Amino acid sequence: MLNGKKIVVVMPAYNAEKTLEKTYNEIYKDIVDEIILTDDKSSDNTKDLAKDLNITTIVHKENKGYGANQKSCYIAALKANADIIIMLHPDYQYTPKLIPAIASMLAFEEYDTVIASRMLSNPLAGGMPLYKYIANKFLTLFQNIFLNQNLSEYHTGYRGFTRKVLENLPLKDCDNDFIFDNEMLALVKYYGYKTGEISCPTKYFPEASSINFMRSCKYGFGVLDVSIKYFLAYLGIYKSKIFKNSAKKLNINEELPFYHNK
């Protein structure tokens, strides 16, 4: 709890058995009120370890994708009456030690959304592949132009939101794969919410999840597509599905696939 706000950390997981406990142990339990993990049908023992750690656990009956996994996270957090929701990957690529700083920026109502940016530090020193660094810089420049923003990156998986953001953004119609992250930040800007940034050290190692070159290329083209669709919607020329008034919001009453409460 911080400034009277309930803090919930959500962890979208896929084959995170080797890193989950280390990630969990570094979460500040004196600030975080609840931790929720969604397992996207891992082939390892992620869900069993999460239960052993007494983490509230949701298990997908089939692999639905990174975006769909996040949707389950956010629905569960809203069901748990969270005021502040922080998404942390359980692969230990992002340090849990930044949670208090992210939570403070949201709990004291300075920002509606906060992203932990790798590009504000030295990502190459942390092991980020050169091609990913260059692609990140290019895509971020493109997005800043088309979204009229000045963020250092849009591609981090470490981010926090206030409850009103998750309740009001039409996330149900967003992609179920990796482009979900990008659509979400485009919608944050489209709906007029404030986004803050905090510097986050970069860690690349074998157990940390990362998409391969081909999937990175697919993601890159998806980012360009989202940015152009945002720009067209902003100008009122064409509104694609997620930018229409009919786009669907998350349904807090939706029954989650399998729910294990601690």
Q: Is the pTM of this model over 0.85?
A: yes
Residue 84 structure tokens:
């502040």
pLDDT score of 204: 83
pLDDT tens digits, 21-67: 999 999 999 999 999 999 999 999 999 999 999 999 999 999 999 99
Residue 47 structure tokens:
């869900």
Q: Where are the beta strands (DSSP E) in the chain?
A: 7-13, 34-39, 56-59, 84-87, 113-117, 159-162, 195-199, 259-260
- Sign, CA dihedral 225-228-230-232, equals negative
pLDDT > 70: percent of the chain:
96
Q: Indicate the DSSP class of residue 38.
A: E
Are 139 and 220 spatial neighbours (Cβ–Cβ below 8 Å)? yes
Amino acid at 252: I
pLDDT score of 92: 94
Are 20 and 49 spatial neighbours (Cβ–Cβ below 8 Å)? yes
What gap in Å lies between CA 227 and CA 209, rounded to an integer? Answer: 25
Are 8 and 36 spatial neighbours (Cβ–Cβ below 8 Å)? yes
pLDDT score of 210: 63
Q: Collect the ranges in the chain with pLDDT lower than 50.
A: none
pLDDT score of 207: 65
Are 147 and 186 spatial neighbours (Cβ–Cβ below 8 Å)? yes
Q: What's the distance, Cα to Cα, between the start and end of the chain in Å?
A: 19
User: What are residue 113's DSSP bridge partners?
Assistant: 161, 195
Residue 108 structure tokens:
């004291």
What gap in Å lies between CA 76 and CA 246, rounded to an integer? Answer: 23
